[in-house]
Structure formats: structure tokens, C-alpha cells
Structure 1
Amino acid sequence: MCRTGQHPDPHEADDDKSSGAAFASLLEDSAEDLYESAPCGYLSTLMDGTIAKINTTLLTWLGLDREAVVGRMRFTDLLTVGGKLYHETHFAPLLRMQGEISGIALEIKQPDGRMPVLVSSAVKHGSTGEPLLIRTTLFDARDRRAYEEELLRGRKAAEEARKQAEADRARLEDALAVLQQSLLPDTLPPISGVDTAAYYHTAHPDRLGGDFYDVFPIDGKRFGFFLGDVCGKGPQAAAVTSLTRYTLRAAALHDPDPVSALNTLNKVLYERYAGGTGDPRYCTAVFGTLEPDPDTGQVAVHLASGGHPPVIVLRAEGTAEFLPTPGGLLVGILPSAPFTAARTVLAPGDTLLLYTDGITEARTSEDRTGLYGDEALLAFAADHAGKPTPAVIEALTGLLHSFGNGLDDDTALLALGAPAPDTLTRSTR
């Protein structure tokens, strides 16, 4: 560059020549060279996942030869066991629905271990809209571990997922099918002189919830019932739910007193989870017994609560009230805990309503910060007092659906009623 009144600087001329040479060299770099030597991994797969093309960068990360990969392996074959499970259950379904997905944390296998990557994929369509292939980009994420929890969209922290995914996989495949059937009763048993109805709302279909309920015979006169909520979600919470359900059933057959049953459950949970395991698990629960009187049509209720929201009694004359059980401690958090008992009698047309806190903690305000709350639920119940028990559950089901995305927790509902003289005994779920 020449300045006015000055001679050209020979060094500047040399710099210009160097820059020009570099630019010319860049222009000579072919698109294929850019693809093969990119600082990220590229591959293209058929719609079934078979690898059709892969760049040198990714092959180097994998420690594989092109001949061993192209046409012989699928994308999931490159992933660790935990990454493959996540791909099949989350990544692939979202890609099919959306046509593209980006920034997902997975791990690929290497000869000496594993390597974290951030994966983005997009479906390429033909001129008539049919899907032709999937283009995928993989970025080295070894220095970005801190981002994994966010990229897994609020699921378990990536560190836990990496440690547990492979260990859980085999156990989950066998246990999920069994637990799914055992966590809730298929149907409620028919009880002469008692109407029963229940509903379970799953807020997250891809996760096992921790809410539970059951109704079962104790002897020729009495029936047991319970409803509760285990802390946490997922397989661990499901395991506690299963243990809780069978413990309460067994405890009731030995001693149906509600306080005694909750004491037994507290001992089992504390010894199993809190006794130095480093992984304490606990729950809230209401346990009780029903004793219908065929002569009067009344149903005697004896129940106890451990840290659970109070049950609601809907009276035939059109009122509703909480049945107080103050002071009940969470079940399983201490080696021994006081539990509060209560009694009531359901006259014909009365209904006992048990629920988990998913319904009262639903976010209902316009800014989604306000909660539905206990008093609103009591008022809603009063509006449906005197109706048949199944109708009460049907109304509450409609209420849950009206919350939309403000309902972000699982909710269990269980209603037990003394049928009015003009209704038939029935049992619904």
C-alpha cells in the first residue's frame, strides 16, 4: 500500500503476495477435501440407519476402516450401550416426527474407551417429499461435559446417565414390563355396599411415575385401601412403589390397623433405603379400611396418613370437608415415626376422595406460577358432592385435562363411596 508522498514499502508487498498465495491455496481445496478433513464427523445413512458415507475425521475417532463401516454398519453400531438405548427411545422417534434434531449428547465407541459427542441429524427428502437419507454431524464434546444435562432436556444429569445407563439397561428391559403391570391394579375389586372409582394421569409417558393406589379384601367384612406418592421418578421410584404396594397388602393381612400398617411400611423403607445406603427413598401415603354395613348402607372408614394431603369427604347433602390427619410424618425418612389416624362414616350418597399432590400443584395462572391449591380442590369437590362416585372421578378427570401443560406431575385419584339407595354397586378405573 502506498502512502501519499512516500515510496512503496517492500515488506508490505511481500505480505500481499503471501496473502494472495494463501487465498489461492484455499481456492484449490476441493469440497471433498473439506468433507473428509472437517473438524467434525460427517456421515450419511439410509433411512434404516445403514451407513452410506462417512468422513475421515469420524473414522479416525472410531479407529475403523471405511470398508468395515460403509454398507456394513448402522449408526447405532457406533454408539455405546447407553447411547444406543437413548437413540432408540428418544433420538430416533424425535427425528422421525420433526425431520431434524440438534445438539443431543451421545457417546461413540473407541478402541480404548468412549468419546462424548454432540449429534445433529436432518432428513433429506426427494423432490416429491419422500425421505431419502439422514445426514448427521458429530462434534467432539470432550470439553463440553457441562452441557450434557441441558442437552438431555431436563432428564437425569448426564453424569448419572453415563454411569447408570449401561448398568440399568438389562435390568430395565426385564423390570419395566413387570413393574408396569404391578404398580397399579388392573381393575378395582367389586365391593358389596361400596362404589369405587379411580384414575391415574401420567404427566410424562416416557417416565415411570411414583404415584400408587390399591383396593383389596382383608377378610369377610373389611377391605383395605391406600394411595400415595413416592419421591422421585423413573425406575428407582417405580421399585419403591412396587415394594410399598406389596408391603401394605401384607401388613394389612397381619394387622389391618392403619397406624400399624404404616409403621410396618416405614420400617421396611427405612431399613431398605435409608440405613446407610446413601440413597434414601420415602413416600407419602394414606392407608385405611372400609367396613360396609349391609343393614344401614353406611360404610365405616378407619384410616391413617403419613405426610399425605388430607382426604376429602363429599356428603350427600352437597357439602365437602377435609378429614383432618395432622402431623403425619413422611414414610421411611426416620427409623420410627408418628402417624395420625382418623375415622368417619360414609352415609348413603357420601364419597371419600383420595388424591396425590399433582392436582393441587398444577400451575393454573396465566403466567403458570400460581398453583391450583387445596381450597380450590375442596370447592370443586363440593360442587360435585352427592353425585355417584364414578361421576366424581369423571369430573376430576375433566379438571385434570383442563390444566393442559400446567399439569406437570403424575396424579392418582381414588374415590370410595356409599351408594345412594337408587344406585347399583359398581367398580371403575
Structure 2
Amino acid sequence: MDRSAPFEETAEELLEDAPCGYLSTDLDGTLLRVNRTFERLTGLSREALVRRRRFQDLLSPGGRIYHETHYAPLLHMQGAVREIAVDIVRADGTLMAALVNSVLVRDDTATPRSIRTVVFDATHRRRYEQELLKARRREHDIAAELQRSMLSGALPLAARLELGVLYRPAVAGLEVGGDWYDAFPLDRPDTIGLVVGDVVGRGIEAAATMGQLRSAVRALASTDLRPGRLLGALDAYAHRHEVGRMSTVVYAELCTRDGHVRYACAGHPPPLIVAAGAEPALALGGRSLPLDVDAGVPRTEGTAVLPEGSTLVLFTDGLVESRTRPLMVGLNELVAAARRVGDDAPAEIVERLADDLGVRTERTDDLCVLAARVG
């Protein structure tokens, strides 16, 4: 035998032993022809298939319903369907994951005559997809647990101070977001540190970054840095450790004795002041860019005074911004909603603001609201 001579196969042999199953059916799905590969994949002989079974009869119960409601209608409307995932029942009753392509064959008058279908064994692909989904769920669980461990601590207790907090994760998708908050007493008498942040990204990386920034803020606050300098130091930390780039933070110091507030915002929405007996207002001072955008530039800070019984509200953009609501529109709506909270306690204020702005409906961003009342 001359092995140097090209090996030739007939078209029939190419079809019979193709690396995928091939079948031809009439318009109602009755099998007219199958190749040997399809016999090997299913364990069913062509004698048991041709003119005895319909293609849809070989599918799992769910696959038969899908074939009736989606597959067949799309095929007849479009003339072809591509890479449809189905389960085919083998001769021994086991299921074979498959990807199926079908085309509608027409005659010279454009009248549909038959259907040609190729079937690919997708067992390994399906197994890979399932493992990938399991890994994603494990990552989500780890990130969620990490986030819970950081956000579940008790809020500090102090004289003349009442706190309320609300955290709502995005309802779309599996991944954990990077919104976070913290409140802690400072070394100066009657002064508490308040912080809300928003890390870019989602998942375990965002949760880990959130933890790093939260710990860094606490460590920097313990050195008695005022808000502007603290955010400057946090900016340097983010740049040096390549963590939290483009993250936003608002940090405030609140004196519970006289209501004085010093605050600074790194690319973050401004604090809201709900003052007793006065119009709610956004505190627009102390603004600068997000973290690690222009490292080393001094951070400014703003000041305000909360009259007795007034509330300071810090929040992430998930409260006021969405795909259908620009940030400035959301901020205006927030101020309007704040007029309706009256003398509600901080725990009620955070809920009412979120409800009034309609954030119980489906959204793609987390939201976090922290409210502090003096007096």
C-alpha cells in the first residue's frame, strides 16, 4: 500500500463519519436520515430512528417544550437556528448535552421541504460551564461574607448622637458590589468619624478593596488627621498600593456637643443636611477627584453646623443615580424627598429617602445611606 498517495474518501463516507451528528427530517420533525456519528452519540440505530421517531421525541421533556415554543417557530421564521443547547435522551436513558444547528431546506419555489440538522456533543462544554458557574457562586459567597463581616458591626453609641444606616445590594446579577460605610469615635472629645465609600468594580476584588480602604481610613483617623488631609493620605495609600483607583469616599467629623461638621469628598456625592426648621441642603464644599486620579494634589474640606435635632446624611450614588436618572436630577429629587422626612429618626430617614427615590425597584448599583443626628 502506497502511504504517500493521498487518502480519498467519498462524500458518503465524509457524511457518515463526520465529527458531528447529522440528520434530515421532514417539516414535522420525522427523521428521514441519520449518519453513523449520530447513531454512536445516541446509541440508537437508524432502523429505530428513520421514519419511526421525530427529532423532538429524542429530547428531554424540557427540550420538547422548548422545541415546540421556541426552536421550531424560530426555524420557520428565520430559516435557521444556531447553537441551541438541548439534552438528547440516549438509548440507555441518560442525557447527552448537545448543541444543535438547523436549516430549513426550500425548493426552487421557496417552499419549505425538509430540515437539516447537525448535532455536536457538548458534554465537556456543559461540564465546564457548570464548574465555572459553581466557581462564580463560590466567589460570590466569599465576597458576600467578606462584605457582611465588615458591614455588620454595631454602630457606635455616644451621647447626643443617633445613627441610622441602610445598605441595599443591587438586585441585578450575582456579584457583590463595593459600597461601604463606617462610623467610629475619634480621640477628640465628643467627636465621631463618619465615612461612606464606593469602590469601582464588583465581586471579591471589590469586597477586598473595600476592606483595605475601610481599614486605612480608621488607621488614618487615629492619627488625628482632619478630613482634607485624611483623604490626601488615603489617596497616597491607594496610589502606593495600587488599590482603589477611581473609588469615591466622603469622610466627615461630627462634634456631637456643638454640631460642627468638617467633611471632604473624593469624587463622591455631597452630604445632605436635613436641618431642623430649615430647608434641606447639599453640602457642596470640600470637593476633589476620586482616589488615585491625581495623586498628591491637596484635598480641600468643607464645614457646616448642624442645629439641634438636625441630621447629616452620607450616601452613595446608587441612591440618586441610575441609567434613567442623571445624577443632578437624582440630587434634586433627594432634596425634595428630604423635605418630607420631618422629625423622623435616622433609621427611618434612610428608609424613607430610599423609598421616596424609588430604589426598591430593580437597579444595577448598590446603595448605602448613613444618617447621623445630633441633640
Deviation per CA, 1:252-279: give whole Å up to 9, x if none: 00123111211121111111227xxxxx
* CA pair 387-26 structure 1, distance change in 2 beyond 3 A: closer
Contact 2:245–2:291 (CA under 8 A) maintained in structure 1: no
Question: Counterpart of 2:98?
Answer: 137
Residue 200 of structure 1 deviates from its aligned partner by: 0.9
**1:409 corresponds to which of 359, 365, 368:** 365
Distance 2:136 2:230 in 1: 34
* CA pair 377-36 structure 1, distance change in 2 beyond 3 A: farther
* CA pair 38-330 structure 1, distance change in 2 beyond 3 A: same
Give the percent of matched residue pairs that are identical in Structure 1 and Structure 2. 26
Question: Counterpart of 1:243?
Answer: 212
Amino acid corresponding to residue 333 of structure 2 in structure 1: A
Question: Counterpart of 2:196?
Answer: 227
Question: Counterpart of 2:341?
Answer: 384
Question: Counterpart of 1:284?
Answer: 248
Amino acid corresponding to residue 120 of structure 1 in structure 2: A
Q: How does 1:141-160 map to 2 (within 5 A)?
A: none
* CA pair 345-326 structure 1, distance change in 2 beyond 3 A: closer
Residue 398 of structure 1 deviates from its aligned partner by: 1.8
Distance 1:266 1:138 in 2: 50
Q: How does 1:16-415 map to 2 (within 5 A)?
A: 34=34, 37-38=37-38, 120-121=85-86, 136-138=97-99, 172=139, 175-176=142-143, 179-203=146-170, 204=172, 206-219=174-187, 220-273=189-242, 281-293=245-257, 298-325=258-285, 327-363=287-323, 372-401=329-358, 404-405=361-362, 407-415=363-371
Contact 2:161–2:373 (CA under 8 A) maintained in structure 1: yes
Residue 342 of structure 1 deviates from its aligned partner by: 1.2
Distance 2:66 2:237 in 1: 48
Distance 2:327 2:272 in 1: 22
Distance 2:144 2:345 in 1: 34
- Which sections of structure 1, spanning at least 5 residues, go unmatched? 1-24, 43-52, 57-94, 104-116, 125-131, 141-160, 275-279, 420-429
Provide the secondary structure at the position in 1 that maps to 2:297: coil
Distance 1:402 1:391 in 2: 15
Amino acid corresponding to residue 287 of structure 1 in structure 2: Y
What count of residue pairs does the alignment treat as equivalent?
286
Contact 2:346–2:373 (CA under 8 A) maintained in structure 1: yes
Contact 2:274–2:311 (CA under 8 A) maintained in structure 1: yes
Contact 1:258–1:304 (CA under 8 A) maintained in structure 2: yes
Question: Counterpart of 2:6?
Answer: none
Deviation per CA, 1:393-415: give whole Å up to 9, x if none: 1212323555523x321111111
- Which sections of structure 2, spanning at least 5 residues, go unmatched? 1-22, 46-61, 72-81, 102-127
Provide the secondary structure at the position in 2 that maps to 1:289: strand
Distance 1:265 1:377 in 2: 28
* CA pair 55-415 structure 1, distance change in 2 beyond 3 A: farther
TM-score (norm 2): 0.63
TM-score (norm 1): 0.56
* CA pair 309-32 structure 1, distance change in 2 beyond 3 A: same
Contact 2:146–2:207 (CA under 8 A) maintained in structure 1: yes
Deviation per CA, 1:361-417: give whole Å up to 9, x if none: 13557xxx9985211111111222443222211212323555523x32111111111
